[in-house]
Structure formats: structure tokens, C-alpha cells
Amino acid sequence: MTNPAIPSMALGRSDLQVRRICLGTMTFGEQVDEATAHTILDRSVERGVDFIDTAEMYAVPARRETYGATEAIIGRWLAARPGMRSRIVLATKVAGPSRGMPWVHNGSENLQPAEIIQACDDSLRRLQTDVIDLYQIHWPNRNAPAFGAVYFDPAKDREYSSIQAQLEALATLVNAGKVRHIGLSNETPWGVSEFLRQAELHGLPRVVSVQNPYALTSRALDNGLDETLYRSQVGLLAYSPLAFGALTGKYDDVGFDASQPQLGRIARFESVRKQRWGRPEALVAARRYNALAREHGLTPTALALAFCYRNWRVASTIIGVTSVAQLDEAVDAWDTTLSPELLSAIDRIRHELRDPAQ
């Protein structure tokens, strides 16, 4: 096992320095029990991955019984390790309007400023900390395509709290010292630009990051959002770089087989198989990229992660793991470099397959 040094970079225009690899935690409290989660967190910091991302709605798949569980697990980990909080960068998210989860914000269909403030207070309590380094809106409050939706449909427009009102609520948290920096997630080019415009117009906090999916099989970001982020100096936090495990190669032979739940979340959870990462065409695409990796003497995991790790678009790549072994494999992949020829082969596959899991 190598021990690569994971570099840091400033997130957006801010002074917040984050590692180029971030530990995602949405499996903690569902696939990963608390003791294992604490072991993974310890190992992550030991390996130099001290940027930790979570959310109020986690664990995933979302259930009433596990709402807030991931934050609580992290909070107990911090409480048991005096001084650890000052060693990590901690990010979490406020849920957007209800997506069939009546236990989140009482099923609110319109994220209100007061709900943002209350959600932050609740997250601080569960995390057992006084401040969140990066507080993100998990998905847009307005009508916008997200979570695999491809098209914007104006017929679905409705009344929603304005972006200015959302920023004013976030400003209240920043001014109170509860939040250091703010970000977005599952956003569109228009959404990012409007958050920046409203911040400039009204002297409100500027978003420093956008957390969106980015993977070999999910490259919608390359079609415009990348330019928006680059020119606006907003950092990309790339999530699901392994496409929920499909880009590790473990599903290549058996498919998303529900009779083998030990393979991972796509096999284990019917709700996941019904979503973007479980589409049949997503498996077809993953098999192509996994085969390409093997042809070039790489593991599928190394190819998929290296594609994100060294991509100019990506400030930090969020890895999700269920074991220390998976964590080590993901961190070790930092040393992998992809040749221009291999990158060209990746793009050829993309053009042939048309991003099946956007």
C-alpha cells in the first residue's frame, strides 16, 4: 500500500482549504454501523483525508428511522476525540423541499428561511460542534432538473422562497458564527449564476462550491456547468465518482442482482435500482469503462477515481466507502495518472453511450 500525500486547495474564492479527496458518509447508519463508521473516520484522517461531508437527511436510502443518524454518528465520533474537530473540515447540507420524505421539515414543499436556520441548529446539535465549515443546500428549492432528471419543465413551476431569501437565511447563520462558508448541491448553471448574482446585488455570502454528480457515466456537468463554475471561481465537489459501485467492476458479471445484496447498495436496495445509477443502460456503460480499465492494466476503481481526481473541473472528489479496505483503495488511487490516449478512449465511449446515468 502506498501512502500518497493528498494535497489541499482553496475552495472557490474562499480561504477554506480542503483536501482533493473528501470522505462522504451517507452510508453511515444504514450500510455501515457506528463502530465501523468511527474506524473509517479514524483511518480517513490518518490517511490525510480530513474533509468530511454529510447531510441532515442521511443515512441513504432515506428513511424516517435513520434521518439525522449519520450526523449523530459523526458527532459522537468527534465528542470521543478531543481536539479532532479542529483537525477536520466539516461539511453538511440542509435538505431542499420534500421529495416524498414527510419526516424532513414536516414535509415542507418550499424551503423557508426559518427552516434553513432550524435545520442548521439541529445539525450543529447532532454533530456536537459549534460551527459548520461548509453548509450546503442539498437540492434546489425551485423547480429544476436534478437527481437524474434531464429536462427542465416550466409547467412544474410553483411558488418558492426566493434565492435572495435563502441567501439571507444563510447570511444569518454566517453572521452568527454558526457557518463559515456556503455551497450548493445538485444545481444547474442558471442556479449557480443566480445565487452569485443575488449575493453580489445584496451583499450576501457568496457560494464557494457546488456538489454535483460527476463520474465516467455521469458527465452532464461537462455540458455548460463546468464553464459556469470555472469562470465564476466556484469549486466542484464531485459526488458518486464510482456510480454507486458500478464503476468498481463488481456488478459486471452478475448485474444489479437483488439476490446478492452483499455486492452493494444497488443490489441491496430496490429504491436505488429504480434510480439513475440502477438503470440498465448505466450498467452497460459501466461495463465498457471497466473493460477499458483492464485493457490498460488498471482496476476499474482506479480508472474511475483517477478520472475525477486529476480533472481540472474538480476541486475535491467525494468518496463513499463501507470499509477501511475500500477507503485505502480509494486513497491509493490518487497516484494513478491517465495517459492522453486513455482519456481519448474514455471520451469516445462517452460519445457512443450519451451519458446513461446523468
The answer to whether residue 58 is catalytic is yes
**Cβ–Cβ < 8 Å for 91, 123:** no
Q: How far apart are CA 190 and CA 152, in angstroms?
A: 11
Q: How far apart are CA 135 and CA 173, in angstroms?
A: 9
**Cβ–Cβ < 8 Å for 220, 358:** yes
**Cβ–Cβ < 8 Å for 128, 176:** no
Residues 6+ positions from 338 with CB-CB distance below 8 Å? 303, 306, 307, 310, 346
Q: How far apart are CA 116 and CA 133, in angstroms?
A: 16
* DSSP code for 128: T
Distance from chain centroid for Cα 148:
14
317 bridge partner residues: 21, 238
Exactly one of 58, 67, 135, 214 is catalytic; which is it? 58
Give the residue numbers marked as catalytic. Answer: 58
